[in-house]
Chain A
Amino acid sequence: MVDFGGWDMPVNYGSQIDEHYQVRNDCGMFDVSHMRVVDIKGNGARSFLRFLLANNVDKLTLPGKALYSCMLLENGGVIDDLIVYFMNEGWFRIVVNAGTADKDIAWMKQQATQHAPQLNIADHPELAMIAVQGPNARAKVWDALPGSQELTKRLVPFSAVEMGAMFIARTGYTGEDGFEVMIPAKAAPYFWATLAGKGVRPIGLGARDTLRLEAGMNLYGQDMDETINPLEAGLTWTVDLKSERDFIGKAALLANPPTRKLVGLVLLDRGVLRGHQQVHTAQGMGEITSGSFSPTLNQSIALARVPKEVQIGDQVQVSIRDKMLAAKVVKYPFARNGRGLI
């Protein structure tokens, strides 16, 4: 067990590598109740979020559709990354990280006071969240939740639907298909036990980290934080700088073109890449933001922030203890849908 944003969470239930393969090859479930649900309700919710978030909620036109976005400070630093679901014009649902939830909500309320005081912003710590991920995940949820198949079988990836007091989203943090199910906390143990009864194995934080790293998904606090802007964190694709729309942080992003970028690394020598190791490139120094061993590729991989001139295919050196080890710059993700991509 480790403390994670004030929550006691298991790093692994058994072998972390077995748990990783379980999700890539079949399915597993994660207790991610630490994630916080925040509902934005009222007239003008869309225009408020258009201003609050770096990605453009105008991309959300169909009810249930979700969008990944950063929420930025005026200086462009990332307050948090989040998923926003459009339910109707009077209701958007946001899911934020545990460790940042309280400051996120304070920021949202502060901004709403200035720009949209009519909105109601309320978090829902009473909602638990269970992610079921893997190629067989949807079928297992359908088996465990009578009525859910009818409701969700045509649900496209990155969208959600309500089912009674539950909220079922076809989203995740593993690079596999599956659902994230928000459910009242008092009903969560029964749902968890039902899934376990259908043979769904629990997966810890350790495998969650190697799965998301292989999938090339950022982890807040490691790959970006308030001192890093999204353009230097591999998240340019989530920032809408093309439209006329203004948003918090936009002016700073336009005024400060990125000098660094996030790339993938694959270690060519023996060893394990880890966060904070220094990366020596022909164009200057960089640093690993997330590193681990990739079970799917059977070698060590990392995300690293390096000078923007570094190119895919370049060879770089990583300082590990008293050695300099060779690594190759690659395009990530490293793995998705059960298969290695490198």
Chain B
Amino acid sequence: MSNPANLPNNLKYTASHEWVKTEADGTISIGITQHAQELLGDMVFVESPMVGRKLKAKEECAVVESVKAAADIYAPVNGAVVAVNSELDSTPEAINADPYAAWMFKMKPDNAADVAALMDAKAYQAVVDSEAH
């Protein structure tokens, strides 16, 4: 299934299968991993958080729904929502097509060190492997 080579090394990851990318302006983009989209299947609906909302790490803040099931998306760190990708409203299948390009929302983290402390690709791969038995 998920091949280590598929996990971009420039991203951070969470145990709940979000990826986190630090942008040049210090904000972070959040999406779901290849592994998560494979499990969920064809995406049909994305519910994004409100811009401006303050989030705590591991707080439920968004939802993706595939034909099969709904899944919660969790804030990777403390911070505020600064943007949402409204293109996914009409094209949720972009998450299936290219999960690492289909960012769902952006946050301004309270503390950049929190982002640095998230899992790297190798640690996340171990999480995925452990779920596969």
User: Which chain A residue shows the least CB distance to B72?
Assistant: A321
A33-71 Cβ-contact flags toward B at 8 Å (1 or 0): 000000000000000000000000000000000000000
Contact of B44 among A12, A206, A272 (CB under 8 A): A272
A16/B41 contact (C-beta < 8 A), A270-B89, A293-B67, A321-B63 known: yes
**Set of chain A residues within 8 Å of B110, measured between Cβ atoms:** none
Report the Cα distance A73→B70, complex, angstroms.
35
Report the Cα distance A18→B123, complex, angstroms.
34
User: Would B65 and A206 count as touching, CB distance under 8 A?
Assistant: no
Q: Is the interface of A mostly helix, strand, loop or mixed?
A: loop
Report the Cα distance A16→B65, complex, angstroms.
13
User: Would B67 and A17 count as touching, CB distance under 8 A?
Assistant: yes
B68 within 8 A of A: yes
A15 within 8 A of B: yes
Q: Taking the nearest CB of chain A, how far is it from the CB of B30, in angstroms?
A: 19
Q: Taking the nearest CB of chain A, how far is it from the CB of B86, in angstroms?
A: 12
User: Would B45 and A272 count as touching, CB distance under 8 A?
Assistant: yes
**Set of chain B residues within 8 Å of A274, measured between Cβ atoms:** 70
User: Would B68 and A11 count as touching, CB distance under 8 A?
Assistant: yes
**Set of chain A residues within 8 Å of B42, measured between Cβ atoms:** 15-17
Q: Taking the nearest CB of chain A, how far is it from the CB of B122, in angstroms?
A: 28
Q: Taking the nearest CB of chain A, how far is it from the CB of B82, in angstroms?
A: 22
Q: Taking the nearest CB of chain A, how far is it from the CB of B42, in angstroms?
A: 4
**Set of chain A residues within 8 Å of B47, measured between Cβ atoms:** 270-271
Contact of A15 among B41, B63, B65, B89 (CB under 8 A): B41
User: Which chain A residue shows the least CB distance to B41?
Assistant: A16
A6-33 Cβ-contact flags toward B at 8 Å (1 or 0): 0000011001110000000000000000
Contact of B45 among A17, A206, A270 (CB under 8 A): A270
A171 within 8 A of B: no
User: Which chain B residue shows the least CB distance to A274?
Assistant: B70
Q: Taking the nearest CB of chain A, how far is it from the CB of B131, in angstroms?
A: 15
User: Which chain B residue shows the least CB distance to A17?
Assistant: B42
Q: Taking the nearest CB of chain A, how far is it from the CB of B81, in angstroms?
A: 17
Report the Cα distance A89→B21, complex, angstroms.
71
User: Would B67 and A271 count as touching, CB distance under 8 A?
Assistant: no
Q: Taking the nearest CB of chain B, how far is it from the CB of A254, in angstroms?
A: 41
**Set of chain A residues within 8 Å of B89, measured between Cβ atoms:** 270
Report the Cα distance A293→B44, complex, angstroms.
7
**Set of chain B residues within 8 Å of A321, measured between Cβ atoms:** 63
User: Which chain B residue shows the least CB distance to A207?
Assistant: B67
A97 within 8 A of B: no
Q: Taking the nearest CB of chain A, how far is it from the CB of B43, in angstroms?
A: 10
User: Would A271 and B45 count as touching, CB distance under 8 A?
Assistant: yes
**Set of chain A residues within 8 Å of B67, measured between Cβ atoms:** 16-17, 206, 210, 292-293, 295
Report the Cα distance A13→B53, complex, angstroms.
39
Report the Cα distance A11→B67, complex, angstroms.
11
Report the Cα distance A313→B47, complex, angstroms.
27
**Set of chain B residues within 8 Å of A272, measured between Cβ atoms:** 44-45, 65, 70
A204-232 Cβ-contact flags toward B at 8 Å (1 or 0): 00100010000000000000000000000
Q: Taking the nearest CB of chain A, how far is it from the CB of B97, in angstroms?
A: 11
**Set of chain B residues within 8 Å of A271, measured between Cβ atoms:** 45, 47, 65
Chain A interface residues (CB < 8 Å from chain B): 11-12, 15-17, 206, 210, 270-272, 274, 292-293, 295, 300, 321
Would you list 23 pairs from A and B whose C-beta atoms are within 8 A, ordered by A residue? Answer: A11-B68, A12-B41, A15-B42, A15-B96, A16-B41, A16-B68, A17-B67, A206-B67, A210-B67, A270-B45, A270-B47, A270-B89, A271-B45, A271-B47, A271-B65, A272-B44, A272-B45, A272-B65, A272-B70, A293-B44, A293-B45, A293-B65, A295-B67
Closest 4 CB pairs of A and B: A293-B44, A272-B65, A17-B42, A293-B67
Assuming A11-B41, A15-B41, A15-B42, what are 10 further A-B pairs, CB within 8 angstroms? Answer: A16-B67, A17-B67, A271-B47, A272-B44, A292-B67, A293-B44, A293-B45, A293-B65, A300-B45, A321-B63
